[in-house]
Amino acid sequence: MDDKKWGPWRITVYALLIYCVLYYLLPLTVMLFNSIKDLDELKAGNIMAFPSKITFEPWVKAWSGACTGITCEGLSGYFWNSVSFVVPAVLISTIIGAFNGYVLTMWRFKGADAFFMLLMLGCFIPFQAILLPMAQTLGVLGIANSTAGLIFVHVVYGLAFTTLFFRNYYVSIPYEMIAAARIDGAGFMLIFRRIVLPLSGPIIVVTVIWQFTQIWNDFLFGVVFSSGERQPITVALNNLVNTSTGVKEYNVDMAAAVIAALPTLFVYVVAGKYFVRGLTAGAVKG
Amino acid sequence: MGALSIRKVRKSYAGLEILKGIDLEIAKGEFLILVGPSGCGKSTLLSMIAGLDDVTSGDIHIGDRRVNDLSPKDRDIAMVFQSYALYPGMTVRENISFGLEIRKVPQAERDATVDRVAQILQIGHLLDRRPAQLSGGQRQRVAMGRAIARNPTLFLFDEPLSNLDAKLRVEMRTEIKQLHQRLGTTIVYVTHDQIEAMTLGDKIAVMKAGELQQFGTPNEIYRNPANLFVAGFMGSPSMNFIKAKVQQQGTGFALALESRGKQFTVPAVNGDGLGAYLDREIIFGIRPEQITEVVDSHGPNPHVIRQTLDVELTEPTGPDTLMLVNINGARVTARVCPDFAKKAGEQMELMFDLTKSVYFDPKTEQRIQ
């Protein structure tokens, strides 16, 4: 294969890639197009067509006027609901994960491997399996049906993943570096703060993106462990789409779906390059 | 009491004994080398001195303190690691002063120390760089600087030069020796390189499979190896070992040798202990530098014999040419001045200086004195 010239091989590869790009962009494009069409055009025309008259009315309605069940106040309240538990849940699970990873690699205790194995099992437990025991636990803790409860659920469920991420990243930090710091006189917390955390940039980004996406997009925990006004945006979106009074406003549905997806999109765009870097580069140059 | 004493120290991991009772003691200002092949337990011993590993039994004293139960930071030690173990997120300056900062040394004093250390190691121009921006040799210097800055009573070096290329290694070796002379501190230095051991050490502890084989000055270790292992490990090219039968010769003993059908004997100099081995095989040890071209300066000496042998292979090293001959089925290396060296297949008269001959029991591999 020659790589300078546009040979048939090269053209084939590019054609295939462009096809794939279009294929993946198509749903998003359809959603965006139809979220800025008015209802008449939507009903009359082709859903693939570019809107002839652009209107942001559906977006406004989705945000502040659409009916989600009994109330008709749009997604805005639920959006902030989601933010209010996703941000703390992401931060807490990331911090604890980093800490767990640090302990599991640098301060190995008796049974650390068994502990890690058990924790890893958590990655394979389906959401549905823990619904009932979790409901009971939340009840006992007195945080059922609250934002704190939802944060708790997501932190617990996310820990297995965040610990795995940090642990696998930290095993590449040479033990000698920790030994050197111990001899220098640094203690457990100081080594974590001054030596280990400053090296953790890429893996923190990976974990934050992962956790943010998981928790923001979660529907099941949201629908089970919260109700009414405190529900997350995913549940509200579902209610909005399924509310069946009057005319089915597909443009509003589309706008609402895009609104619900925007934060994860935003996180990817901002931190995506670190995501790839963090996933591939495990080695810490010392 | 010495600066460091190690008494009956043992270490086992899950029933496997790594160190089998080590006894060592060095005085203040001495440079101790722990040397041995990989897996001999030398690095484990160093980790135990540092407090990074627990002692299974036995005592370690630094100065007059028993340190078994002290944490690394309370042992007043500093350590230089093979991988340098610099903190990647910190500048060189921060790396060096980190230990001082933790010990709450005032800022002004810290700055003064960093300047002093930078001056000693000539790393002043690197102080604001990060470890990733340094070469291997520079990182090594910074790692030493970090150790020096704290001014501990005991320095520990864990194979500090083995990640450097050959030329730099020799340079840094000299520098470490100069540093030791200048600072006069007590050093424990782990290496698997016997040349490093010989050049740097005041005392050498040769270890193998968790046991101390011999402990002494470089000269003692080289001249009077306690057993076959030490004799073979120290010295490059290593000592020749020739299996030979002990014969009576006058009031003393001789060794029967043979090379390509040619029979000859050499007197067993210093072989008083060979009486018990009469007519039995022992291992005769002679270093390559004791087999040379004929040099007349010795005069008539019964401990120096000449023998013409077939040259099988030559290896010029520059200052010397190593010539391989066959004696009693063993390859024997002679160290010859290049001007006199013959080619493979030729014959050459060689001179055996037997004054430093050593003998070993073939079964126990211990020295026969």
B237 prior amide bond cis, ω within 30: yes
Virtual torsion, Cα B73, B75, B79, B85, nearest 10 deg: -20
- Angle at A132 (CA atoms; ends A128, A134), nearest 5 degrees: 95
- A198 neighbourhood in chain B, CB within 8 Å: 88-90
What's the confidence (pLDDT) of residue B303?
A: 86
Angle between the A76-106 and A57-64 helix axes, to the nearest 10 degrees? 70
Query: Is A285 part of any domain?
Result: no
pLDDT of residue A283: 37
Read off the tokens for B365: 């591999």
What CATH number did the domain enclosing B216 receive? 3.40.50.300
Q: How far is CA B116 from the centre of its chain?
A: 31
The verdict on a CB contact (< 8 Å) between A286 and B84 is yes
Task: Write out chain A residues lying below 8 Å of B84, CB-based.
Answer: 286
Regarding whether A230 and A134 lie in a shared domain, the answer is: yes
Whether B161 maps to a domain, the answer reads: yes
Q: Decide if B367 is inside a domain.
A: no
pLDDT number for residue A250:
82
Q: Does residue B366 belong to any structural domain of this protein? A: no
For residues B125 and B216, state if they share a domain: yes
Chain A residues closer than 8 Å to B151 by CB: none
Pair (B181, B255) in one structural domain: no
Specify whether the CB–CB gap between B312 and B324 falls below 8 A. Answer: yes
Q: B263 and B228, same structural domain?
A: no
Q: Are B321 and B235 in contact (CB under 8 A)?
A: no
Residues of chain B with pLDDT under 50: none
- What's the rounded Cα separation, in Å, for the pair A130 and B87? 42
Evaluate whether ipTM surpasses 0.85.
no
What is the per-residue pLDDT for A90?
94
CATH code, A228:
1.10.3720.10
Last residue of a domain, one of B184, B200, B233: B233
Q: Same domain, yes or no, for B145 and B253?
A: no
Contacts of A39 (CB under 8 A, 6+ apart): A247, A249, A250, A251
Is residue B347 located within the same domain as residue B310?
yes
Instruction: Label residue A81 by pLDDT band (50, 70, 90).
Output: confident
Question: How confident is the model at residue A282, as a pLDDT?
Answer: 41
Give the C-alpha distances (Å, rounded to integers) separating B3 from A62, B6, B29, B45, B201: 78, 10, 8, 16, 15
Residues B202 and B307 in one domain: no
Q: Which of A11-20, A35-44, A100-109, A179-188 has the lowest mean pLDDT?
A: A35-44
Report whether B169 contacts B199 (CB < 8 A).
no
User: Same domain, yes or no, for B114 and B262?
Assistant: no
**What is the domain extent for residue A33?**
8-58
Among B62, B81, B103, pick the best mutation site for testing chain A contact (most A Cβ within 10 A): B81
Q: Is pLDDT at A12 greater than 80 in this prediction?
A: yes
- pLDDT, tens digit, 9 for 90 and up, residues A176-197: 899 999 998 888 899 999 988 8
Q: Is residue A141 part of a domain?
A: yes
Task: Decide if pLDDT at A46 tops 90.
Answer: no
Q: Do residues B257 and B334 share a domain?
A: yes
How many Å separate Cα B303 from the centre of its chain?
A: 29
B-chain residue closest to A201, CA distance:
B89
How many structural domains comprise chain A?
2
In a domain, B368, yes or no: no
Full residue range of the structural domain in which residue B70 is found: 4-233
Identify whether A2 is part of a domain.
no
A66 in a domain, yes or no?
A: no
Name the DSSP letter for residue B239: P
Task: Report which of B285, B175, B313 is spatially closest to residue B222, judged by C-alpha positions.
Answer: B285
**Residue A1 domain-assigned (yes or no):** no
Residue where a domain terminates, one of B205, B233, B261? B233
In a domain, residue A244? The reply is: yes
Closest CB to A286 among B79, B88, B98:
B88
Sheet strands side by side (includes B16-26): B16-26, B4-13, B57-62, B65-66
Together in a domain, B83 and B165: yes
Helix axes A76-106, A112-121, angle to 10 degrees: 160
In three-state secondary structure terms, B268 is coil
Q: What pLDDT digit, counting tens, does each position of B349-367 carry?
A: 999 999 999 999 999 999 9
pLDDT at residue A284, rounded to an integer:
39
Average pLDDT score over residue span A53-69: 80
User: Which residue has better confidence, A41 or B68?
Assistant: B68
The verdict on residue B365 lying in a domain is no
* Helix spans in chain B (H): 42-50, 92-102, 107-121, 136-149, 166-183, 194-200, 218-223, 228-233
- Determine whether the interchain pair B88/A184 forms a contact, defined as Cβ–Cβ distance below 8 Å: no
